[in-house]
């Protein structure tokens, strides 16, 4: 019997790439691969890439450069590039980097076993098609091994919004929702193996409209309520959402579905109507603010997160002040913020009025300082409150366990006998820069 082959996957970017990397490993399992934590011991290296930020491809080439010595020492080592950079620049990667054996896009990774077999015969392979077949159905079922207490579950892929700054519609394709029965089946399987919290994933996850029984479309709220009926599944989250797809029943679910956690990531990108229009965001500052009011009315203790881009072409000081004002009014629990990054092929890439990088940097520093103050204030306000914590792993020293609160904060406690997967009530006693401390109730 041949010894197992070893697979190392490095994942960049969003939670959907984390999920995809898991499925790539599962797809290669029948070909004899088991995952390892170091590229030095691998028989195959896969880089699962993200194309959202500037110079993403160059970072891939830089990473590949680190493997030249390994490839020279192990000529049979297979190296592959997967994900969105692969989708956008697959042929160029093959031309620029002869050490790469395989390039596979995010909609084709179910074909990895066939690609690996071809690479084993000395054929370099590129597959960046967007095939009609359902990649999830083509993959074998997840191995029946025990799982940790939390898991990602992709329910929707692609985007039809065509924001002027974004490459996702070009690398992930148009919006597609997985059928309800397949999502529920995968969720039940995860729970049977120890998962107690599932995060539903999608580029625009609240645009989910999967085919349910009788051929009827289900929205995300109905899917969440049905998932909540699964015994053993204690928590449900979803990300990332678009303001235009926040339907009434999904807002209501935040108030009436106990298992839906009080955390919502709802990017706005800018507080200026002029910039929002140039971004092709299809919502306004006022519509976003009214939406926030409705969601908070349904769930007053909601922790709200968002995304912001500063320095978008033609952004003025006044536009930036509008963003700062919106942040002040919303009062976020956490946020992600970035300088505008020009992506080739997007409508904004060649526009005039590019903002001076130094100005963008100054604006980002000012915005992040405000967001950090809001995050710290939110965390300090948790002190003295009781929260649910799903414990995931041991802490830094004996007797300490770390988990996530209802609001997605990292929480650590000192207590004997806790195990990963335990869901307990905790009283928060102190707040640090990035985590909370508490005592069991």
Determine whether the annotation assigns residue 159 to a binding site.
Answer: yes
Residue 429 region by backbone torsions, left for phi larger than 0, else alpha for psi between -120 and 50, else beta = alpha
Determine whether the annotation assigns residue 166 to a binding site.
Answer: yes
Rg for the chain, CA atoms, rounded: 23
Integer CA distances (angstroms), 29 to 48, 212, 416, in order: 17, 31, 37
Tell me the two tokens of residue 37: 């934590």
CA angle 206, 309, 369 (to 5 degrees): 110
Whether 57 contacts 91, CB under 8 Å: no
Which of 62, 31, 30 minimizes the C-alpha distance to 49? 62
Determine whether the annotation assigns residue 257 to a binding site.
Answer: no
Answer positive or negative: Cα dihedral of 224, 229, 232, 235.
positive
Which of 239, 320, 241, 252 minimizes the C-alpha distance to 16? 239
Residue 249 region by backbone torsions, left for phi larger than 0, else alpha for psi between -120 and 50, else beta = alpha
Tell me the two tokens of residue 52: 């959202």
> What is the C-alpha end-to-end distance of the chain, expressed in Å?
52
Give the residue numbers of the binding site.
14, 50, 84, 159, 163, 166
Give the residue numbers of the binding site for [4Fe-4S] cluster.
14, 50, 84, 159, 163, 166
């Amino acid at each position: 019997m041949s010894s197992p082959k070893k697979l190392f996957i490095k994942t960049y970017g969003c939670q959907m790439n984390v999920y995809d990397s898991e499925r790539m490993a599962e797809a290669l399992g029948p070909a004899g691969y088991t995952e390892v934590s170091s590229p030095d011991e691998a028989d195959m290296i896969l880089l699962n890439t993200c194309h959202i930020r500037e110079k993403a491809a160059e970072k891939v080439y830089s990473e590949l450069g680190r493997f030249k010595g390994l490839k020279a020492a192990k000529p049979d080592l297979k190296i592959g590039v997967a994900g969105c950079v692969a989708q956008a620049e697959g042929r160029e990667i093959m031309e620029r980097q002869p050490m790469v054996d395989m390039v596979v896009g995010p909609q084709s990774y179910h074909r990895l076993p066939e690609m690996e077999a071809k690479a084993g015969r000395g054929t370099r392979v590129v597959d960046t098609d967007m095939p009609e077949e359902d990649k999830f159905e083509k993959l074998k079922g997840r191995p029946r091994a025990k799982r940790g207490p939390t898991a990602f579950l992709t329910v929707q892929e692609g985007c039809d919004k065509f924001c002027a700054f974004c490459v996702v519609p070009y690398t992930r394709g148009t919006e597609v929702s997985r059928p309800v029965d397949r999502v529920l089946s995968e969720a039940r399987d995860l729970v049977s193996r120890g998962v107690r919290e599932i995060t539903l994933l999608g580029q625009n996850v609240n645009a989910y409209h999967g085919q349910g029984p009788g051929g009827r479309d289900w929205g995300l709220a109905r899917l969440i309520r049905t998932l909540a009926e699964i015994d053993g599944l204690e928590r449900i989250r979803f990300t990332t959402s678009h303001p235009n797809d926040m339907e009434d029943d999904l807002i209501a679910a935040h108030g009436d579905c106990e298992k839906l956690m009080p955390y919502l990531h709802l990017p706005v990108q800018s507080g200026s109507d002029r910039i929002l229009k140039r971004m092709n965001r299809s919502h306004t500052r006022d519509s976003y603010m009214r939406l926030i009011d409705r969601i908070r009315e349904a769930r007053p203790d909601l922790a709200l997160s968002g995304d912001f881009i500063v320095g978008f072409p033609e952004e003025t000081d006044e536009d930036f002040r509008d963003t700062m004002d919106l942040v002040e009014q919303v009062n976020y629990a956490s946020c992600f913020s970035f300088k505008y990054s020009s992506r080739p092929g997007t409508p904004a890439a060649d526009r005039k009025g590019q903002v001076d990088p130094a100005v963008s940097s100054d604006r980002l520093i000012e915005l992040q300082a405000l967001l950090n103050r809001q995050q710290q204030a939110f965390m300090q306000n948790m002190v003295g409150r009781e929260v649910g914590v799903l414990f995931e792993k041991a802490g830094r020293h004996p007797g300490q366990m770390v988990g996530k609160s209802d609001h997605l904060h990292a929480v650590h406690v000192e207590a004997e006998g806790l195990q990963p997967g335990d869901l307990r009530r905790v009283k928060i006693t102190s707040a640090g820069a990035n985590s909370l401390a508490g005592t069991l109730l």
